[in-house]
Amino acid sequence: MKKVILLLLFPVFLAAQSHTSHKSDYDWLTNYDMAIKKAKKTDKNILMFFTGSDWCPPCVSLKKDLLDTPKFKSYADKYVLLYIDIPRNKDLLTADQLADNKKLASKYNKKGSVPMMKVVNEKGHELGAMSGYSMNGEISYHTKFLAKYTK
């Protein structure tokens, strides 16, 4: 009986993990200092993605509709990618990572808007920001934003 219950619950656990993971085909960094160093070395701007991976439906949808798609590759190659997650489930990140993310949010996302894409240069100066997502699959506003700040 226990095996049957586990087999029935297994897909639920897999689905829950897919919504909270930030793994993708792209090289998202989670350390700001490393992103700054890489931006200086590669002469690219940094694309910061502020998200609430386990509680924000628009964040999950934007990730699925744009950030985890092959269409995003042409943009991802032109930026240093920095993933800044503020989950409600504190077990998803280490305490240090969560503290670092909150510190970045207090500097670059003072209103706490998610999802938010913010572009900064290699010195950390803000170039532009876009927040929100309508969850209807319409990503043209986001792709125009991304195209605007590529070097």
With contact defined as beta carbons under 8 Å apart, do 48 and 84 qualify?
Answer: yes
Per-residue pLDDT at 25: 74
DSSP for the chain, written as a single string: -HHHHHHHHHHHHHHHHHHH----SS-EE--HHHHHHHHHHHT-EEEEEEE-TTT-HHHHHHIIIIITSGGGHHHHTTEEEEEEE--SSGGGS-HHHHHHHHHHHHHH-TT--SSEEEEE-TT--EEEEEE---SSS--HHHHHHHHHT--
Quick: pLDDT tens for 32-47.
Answer: 999 999 999 999 999 9
Domain limits, the chain: 23-148
Top-tier CATH class for 23-148:
alpha beta
Range 76-93 average pLDDT: 96
Q: How confident is the model at residue 23 (pLDDT cuts 50, 70, 90)?
A: low
Range 88-112 average pLDDT: 96
| pTM for the model | 0.83
% of the chain exceeding 70 in pLDDT: 84
Range 74-80 average pLDDT: 96
Per-residue pLDDT at 128: 98
